[in-house]
Amino acid sequence: MVTAEEQGAVQEENFKDDARFWETMRDMGAASVEEHKALIARAETKIAEETPRVADADEKVEAAKSRLEKLKRGESVSGLDKKFDVVAAMKAAGWTPSMMRHARLLASLTEAELKQAISRAHVSGAVDRAVNREVRRIIRARRE
């Protein structure tokens, strides 16, 4: 026969396990929320950085098209007397060597391969997996 004290001890241990489980769930969720907030902040920063570059590039597209149309009509157009230097233009647009290497790597993929890479590298999934690994490490350390 189980005594009231023994039953209370079992209940106490069960309640502690329940609390630890929900603390872990809460902490994992909170960490995920914070990482997603940081991801949003990084995305907003990138958007703010890229928006003026897009506007500048759009102006340059229109200028290039205008010069091309003038040339086609037989009008005199100055500029670009030598071959267009893509690397120099990218550097002038603020691209770093690392960004250029990354762009070359992505450009070497087929459209299907690029879609596959993007689908497998979903950032929030990677964050969730990293959080889960860390939580398991913490729990293992707690047991030792």
Question: Tens of pLDDT along 36-78?
Answer: 899 899 999 999 999 998 999 999 999 999 999 999 999 988 8
What is the pTM for the complete model shown? 0.53
Structure tokens at 127: 């964050």
Chain centroid, CA 90 distance in Å: 22
pLDDT recorded at residue 51: 96
- Determine the straight-line distance between the first and last CA of the chain, rounded to whole angstroms: 33
What DSSP line would sit under 114-143, residue for residue? HHHHHHHT-HHHHHHHHHHHHHHHHHHHHH
Cβ(114)–Cβ(106) below 8 Å: yes
Is the alpha carbon torsion for 7, 9, 10, 12 positive or negative?
positive
* Burial of 112 from C-beta contacts in 10 A (0-12 / 13-18 / 19+): exposed
Cβ(27)–Cβ(139) below 8 Å: no
Asked if pLDDT for residue 123 goes beyond 70, the answer is: no
